Amino acid sequence: MIKLTGVTKKFGDFTALDGIDLMIPKGTSFGLLGSNGAGKSTILRLLSGIYSQDGGSVQIDGEEVFDNTTIKEKVFFINDETVQFGSFTLKGLKDYYKGFYPNFSEELFEELRNTVNLPMDKKLDHFSKGMKRQAVVITGLACQTDYLLLDEAFDGLDPTMRIIVKRMLVDAMLDRQLTTVISSHNLKEINEVCDRVALLHQGKMLFNRDLDSVKGSIHKVQAAFKEEYTKEDFEKYGILHYSRSQSIHYLIMKGSEEEIREKLSEKDPIVLDLIPLSLEEIFIYEMEGMGYDAGQLD
């Protein structure tokens, strides 16, 4: 299990993380969302032991991570940059990491390599950005760690390779309860591979939710009523957003479909339709409801 308690991290005068609490159970696929500078990469570097926190506790399986070799053998971190591997061939990269990870599987490595058809003796400097990312991903999976951390996991991959890499990750999660923590600013990709998601903004955690519960907890309502109503008449319901076009009222409301219909029934609607929202729309409206600029999600 991953557990962060009251974690702060500063770089000079800049506060990258401000009192972060986070718990990720074993076997979870967890997504970290947020704009550039939100703190996603800092969390991954704390979990991999690259950084030490300035305050609070960063633990994996009940032990502090920083300077802990035993814990680091359980974690593989795939950085958003691959330039540091440029002088390696794929064979050299495999042999390098094999020396640090005792559970490294040559059989799994070769199986994954054949899937993406990468050459063994060509320097990574001569690979495309997507090929470099594939090389590091298959090496990380072959290390057979308990935890895999991916910073902008699918960046630089073409659509076909994105599907292949996602399938590799899902297979590893199902086969051996791999815990993955994936940072991204792309909600669609997080939605496809993650069970839970946290949204970070300016070093703070805005929310941490199970994705299935998120999708059923907020709805867009389109309604018409016999009587004349204004935005103020709906504010007691805790609406996140309101707009109107002629006689049609558009409301973004929290709650289940049944709860929303029950609340609005007292206003005797002529028309009452609930429209599904995308995950991106849900987070944008929630950010607006908390007083944040929804554009920061991009």
Question: What's the pLDDT tens digit per position in 96-115?
Answer: 999 999 999 999 999 999 98
CA distances from 60 to 102, 119, 205, 221, 276 (A): 18, 35, 19, 43, 37
Q: Token pair 């070093």 is at which residue?
A: 203
Question: Each residue of 175-226: pLDDT tens digit?
Answer: 888 999 998 877 777 777 888 988 888 899 888 888 777 777 788 999 999 9
For the chain, domains (ranges, CATH) are: 2-213 (3.40.50.300), 217-292 (3.30.70)
242 pairs with which residues across the strands? 251
Question: Each residue of 260-293: pLDDT tens digit?
Answer: 999 999 999 999 999 878 777 777 777 776 666 5
pLDDT attached to residue 87: 87
Q: Which residues contact 147 (CB under 8 A, 6 or more apart)?
A: 2, 47, 60, 74, 75, 76, 178, 179, 180, 181
pLDDT attached to residue 53: 96
Inter-residue contact 114 to 42 (CB < 8 Å): no
The 10 Å Cβ neighbour count of residue 164 is: 17
When pLDDT is cut at 50, 70 and 90, the band that residue 55 belongs to is very high
pLDDT attached to residue 295: 54
Inter-residue contact 286 to 279 (CB < 8 Å): no
Which range has highest mean pLDDT (33-42, 207-216, 236-245)? 236-245
For 200, the enclosing helix (H) or strand (E) is strand 196-201
What proportion of the chain, given as a percentage, has pLDDT over 70?
Answer: 96
- For residues 195 and 294, the model is more confident at 195
Tell how strand 179-184 and strand 29-33 pair up.
parallel
SS3 call for 99: coil
